[in-house]
Structure 1
């Protein structure tokens, strides 16, 4: 009887092994072949990218996934998921890539082929996509008088129209072509507008103050954020949907002035009185103060000249100064003193500082500490950098001029009213 039991056990084990061998899963992945696009093929956006090829499997192809991804594997275009039910499957599809904000660079067509047992083969086809070129769409200029602010739009052939009229005197305005937003702040209110139709998108609430409601503003280098310095001691960062994604607060009894926004830090003037002024560095994300240094006079402009160096344009009574602040050392040194001068605006162009004052328009080489006069007659209130070419726009009373890096100073037009700000609008 014991022998019979052993025999039965052996027979049972043999049957289990036989069943297991009959139902064993296929471990062989499908074979994937790509016919187009070719590896390292280049495309000019907007474009239609054709993806074709075929898959074979010793059993059955279950599905094929196709995606367009970036170098960090982020999805660029919503992918395709194709069902299959045979040992041979052909795929032939197209990606329409027309993202205006997509940057030039390497991208990948990722193709994955699965069989019915979950085995898969994956291939990456490298592509180079050339971004949609930046083009100018229109020009915005802003005038203000008698407690009113007027926003005009001018097309590329010179036709102008009034697109918005606001209550209050103009204080600050910034344009952001990437998000297609325009901010205009007056001494009564502050609003963001859509650059396409000039409808109001959202309001910026402020509290009444003895200081101007809006002190300074800028956009991030990539255009994804807009930054505002407010009179109540806040620096707010807004995303394209109008959400405040970051706020930096001044110390009690201190107020912010002009600022410069960098990737990881914010350099800003902070004052507790007319005479007590500091240049303060904050960590951008946390809003924690990193360091500060005392300054003389009110800051007119802070211009980044390298990763850790900033040109500080300041004013005390009738004397102007150009100083260099070394953020790594937390030290500031005066480079140039300009007596009997009032500085209006400044910008970095081709590694030179271009600034305007009551004495004219100047070009300053901060490496050699040499100052050259561009014009003693042109005294711009605003200097606006072109985002497409190496030149700046200059607002001079009712007139608009340009100055290029090669030294050309050109008159463009007269708008008939004093220009408070001039904003070139691009497609992105």
Structure 2
């Protein structure tokens, strides 16, 4: 009897084992239903995006994850992870999206659900996001005196202007630039290069100038949407800094040469190098390695160089007392004169829509590359600095202590006397 009972238990355990082994494994993933937002709902940033829906499973749901991603599956929100111990769950989560650098486009609500067997299901719902509009936040100007450079904030009203001294940097002014994307201002003086944030003007990082035969800060350029700051220095180097002030690349001029005005494109640095005041050339360098591709001798001094097309650069050249407007072809290494204006000294230039606007000692000039014509828009003052505000279409020009504002059809709107000589104007945006 004991033997038979033992055999019966063995058979029973064997049958239970077979039953469990043959039981169907759960291979079915949870089912997700996104109720809100509906497909292609539009949002204007900053926005609150509420995601509602439910998840069901024939067994227990383990957890769900909810976030918002771009077309490359990169998240633009914090992921919410909810632990669940149920076969059904209704969710409602709110996401605050206020990233100022987020671009307009198609984005996706993404909900993932996992059951206890780690079966995964994922559901997407496309939404349309409109970016935070770009706006001008602040206008700054710089002056110098008593071995200090002073930064002022400028508020322009209906026929009046308010100035406020908000920061000072040791040393006489050399160059400055505003980086709206990463929210800092950089000012280079004979003593220091200082990057500081624009709200409370707290120092972020600094550059200590080395000895050089010319001004150390001879050029400042932003590329890659402001992610890179290129500092052209009087010791014959172009250093590239990231937003944290770390050097990511250095380009060296040839021995006994220095850099003048330059322009950056995706592949090259095109600009002027010189070994003396009269020995100057236009060169094309590889943007990453600094290897020289070609050069062409230049007579005179380059005041401004920029791109007209992928291949053609415009060159504003000062030859003795004559302003010259030239073109340079990267592909053919040809350099030629387009227009010459005698007895005119040019200090700054801005290119837009085949028009070249020029700050000169004869006034505010405009050259049309289509008609090859030069017009003096305003000859009341000699102008030295020129900035274009692309949202309002206003030009800001300096003449000594005067700030002159013109609209896009070049009507003089206002002239303000700010008492001190203006060394530069900075336009700072929200992004």
Corresponding position: 1:144 with 2:144: yes
Out of 357, 365, 368, the residue aligned to residue 365 of structure 1 is 368
Mapped to 1, the partners of 2:242 and 2:15 lie a distance apart of 68
Moved over 6 A (4+): 12-17
Mapped to 1, the partners of 2:83 and 2:390 lie a distance apart of 47
1:391 shift after superposition:
2.9
Cα displacement string for residues 383-412 of structure 1 (whole angstroms, at most 9, x for unaligned residues):
112142333211122111223332323224
Question: Which is further off, 79-88 or 273-282?
Answer: 273-282
Mapped to 1, the partners of 2:16 and 2:294 lie a distance apart of 79
1:261 shift after superposition:
2.1
Partner of 1:68: 68
1:27 shift after superposition:
1.8
Mapped to 2, the partners of 1:20 and 1:161 lie a distance apart of 81
Corresponding position: 1:340 with 2:358: no
Mapped to 1, the partners of 2:167 and 2:16 lie a distance apart of 86
Q: What SS is found at the alignment partner of 1:20?
A: helix
Q: Any conservation in 2 of the 1:137–1:155 contact (CA below 8 Å)?
A: no
Mapped to 2, the partners of 1:137 and 1:53 lie a distance apart of 40
Partner of 1:279: 282
Q: What SS is found at the alignment partner of 1:388?
A: coil
1:28 shift after superposition:
1.7
Out of 213, 219, 236, the residue aligned to residue 216 of structure 1 is 219
Mapped to 1, the partners of 2:405 and 2:116 lie a distance apart of 66
Q: What SS is found at the alignment partner of 2:21?
A: helix
Out of 399, 405, 408, the residue aligned to residue 408 of structure 2 is 405
1:302 shift after superposition:
0.8
Cα displacement string for residues 157-193 of structure 1 (whole angstroms, at most 9, x for unaligned residues):
5432222233322111111122121111122322112
Corresponding position: 1:35 with 2:35: yes
1:249 shift after superposition:
1.5
Unpaired stretches in structure 1, ≥5 consecutive residues:
1-11
Q: Any conservation in 2 of the 1:399–1:413 contact (CA below 8 Å)?
A: yes
Q: Any conservation in 2 of the 1:349–1:405 contact (CA below 8 Å)?
A: no
Corresponding position: 1:79 with 2:79: yes
Mapped to 2, the partners of 1:330 and 1:375 lie a distance apart of 36
Q: Any conservation in 2 of the 1:137–1:425 contact (CA below 8 Å)?
A: yes
In structure 2, the CA distance between the partners of 1:125 and 1:378, relative to structure 1 (3 Å rule), is farther
1:236 shift after superposition:
1.6
In structure 2, the CA distance between the partners of 1:290 and 1:128, relative to structure 1 (3 Å rule), is farther
Partner of 2:21: 20
Partner of 1:291: 294
Mapped to 2, the partners of 1:289 and 1:390 lie a distance apart of 38
Q: Any conservation in 1 of the 2:33–2:53 contact (CA below 8 Å)?
A: yes
Cα displacement string for residues 229-254 of structure 1 (whole angstroms, at most 9, x for unaligned residues):
01111112222211122221212211
Mapped to 1, the partners of 2:273 and 2:92 lie a distance apart of 61
1:276 shift after superposition:
2.2
Corresponding position: 1:178 with 2:178: no
Return the TM-score normalized by structure 1.
0.91
Out of 270, 273, 296, the residue aligned to residue 270 of structure 1 is 273
Q: What SS is found at the alignment partner of 1:335?
A: strand
Q: Any conservation in 2 of the 1:151–1:162 contact (CA below 8 Å)?
A: yes
1:257 shift after superposition:
0.8
Q: Any conservation in 1 of the 2:102–2:131 contact (CA below 8 Å)?
A: yes
Corresponding position: 1:326 with 2:329: yes
Partner of 1:122: 122
Cα displacement string for residues 273-296 of structure 1 (whole angstroms, at most 9, x for unaligned residues):
222222222222333333322222
Question: Which is further off, 155-164 or 400-409?
Answer: 155-164
Partner of 2:133: 133
